Structure 1
Amino acid sequence: MTPTETRDKVLAARNAKAGTWDDEKSGDAGGEAAFKVLTREEAQALRAKNPLLSPWKVVAAQAAAGVVFTALWWLFAEGSVKAWSALYGAVAVVLPNALMAWGTTRRQVTNASAAVLSFAVWELVKILLVIAILVVVAKQVADLSWVAMLLTMMGCLKVNWLVLLTRGRNKSISDGN
């Protein structure tokens, strides 16, 4: 018996015990259709239609934004101190996020609780690394431009929204179907 068949039998048994629930015919209060369990083929088709966003695309976009911000500080600020500060800000965002992306994608986790634990651990590592980078930069760089560094950090962090916008909208939603 496959895992899908086992899951379907468990769900059927739960629905039979509930008695009063009729998920096939009723919807929710908003008039939407009730929850439908997908078959393996339907789930694969849905995944093919809406692929997962790779964290490496986000890291690459953050690195590109860091380069752009550093170049802008280099061009429009008097001197390279602000450009170096902007570069430190980009490193404080990109390096920890790259480490987290590597840590969470290096092996596939099949258990949901293990995935949540892995995410939480790598998020903690990321936060500690950001703090360490900022402390080292603050102590080691005498003429640090906090404005340039913090603005670059914010720009690199906010580029995540641009990555999400580049994915586009689902055609069935825009068609109204």
Structure 2
Amino acid sequence: MATGDAESRYEEESDEGFEPLSAEQAREWRTRNPPLSLWRVLAIQVVAGAATTLLTWSVAGAQGGWSAAWGVLAVVLPAALFARGLSRATTGSAGGALAALFVWEGAKLLLTLALLGLAVKVLGSVNWLALLAGFVVTLKVYWLALWWLAARRGRHG
């Protein structure tokens, strides 16, 4: 079987039963399914990071609290830059949107690494376990934030 035959057969099979939405149906679908806000996810990360910082401060003292806060900052500040960059990116093509995603993700990664690298210089003495706790909790809570926001939207919308 030639490669062209396999490709055309795949295209035929994948198009079976597919009906494109009309402009009105697409508009209605977008109204029922608005995108989740990056800013709301970021706000939940800030709240989780603040709670982690307060808990760490109460357990490990001021040095632990400042270290945890720096870990939170190393997640929240780059995430805010990323959200702002993506919300401002206006591209007319899928390729442009993908390029913007890669550029802002790269900027986020570089800023995160720079902030982690500056921890000793800014804080002096660092409680690395506390910094790691603030960093990891804040970084990973976005999964819960996305789940909670999606579930909440499902109940109310």
Q: TM-score range by the shorter chain?
A: 0.7 to 0.9
The structure with more helix, counted as a fraction of residues: 2
2:5 maps to which residue? none
Q: Larger C-alpha radius of gyration, 1 or 2?
A: 1
- Choose the corresponding residue for 2:28, options 45, 59, 64: 45
1:45-124 map, 5 Å: 45-77=28-60, 79-124=61-106
Moved over 6 A (4+): none
Work out which structure has the larger RCO, using CA pairs closer than 8 Å and 6 or more positions apart in sequence.
2
The one-letter code sitting in structure 2 at the alignment partner of 1:80 is A
Normalised by the length of structure 1, the TM-score is 0.74
RMSD across aligned positions (CA): 2.3
Distance change in 2, residues 1:153/1:23 (3 Å):
closer
1:113-152 map, 5 Å: 113-152=95-134
Between the aligned partners of 2:128 and 2:96, the Cα distance in structure 1 is 38
Deviations 1:37-57 (A, max 9, x none): 111111111111111011111
CA contact (8 A) 2:89 2:97 kept: no
Between the aligned partners of 1:106 and 1:40, the Cα distance in structure 2 is 25
Normalised by the length of structure 2, the TM-score is 0.83
Identify unmatched segments of 5+ residues in structure 1.
Answer: 1-16, 27-33, 172-177
1:4 maps to which residue? none
2:3 maps to which residue? none
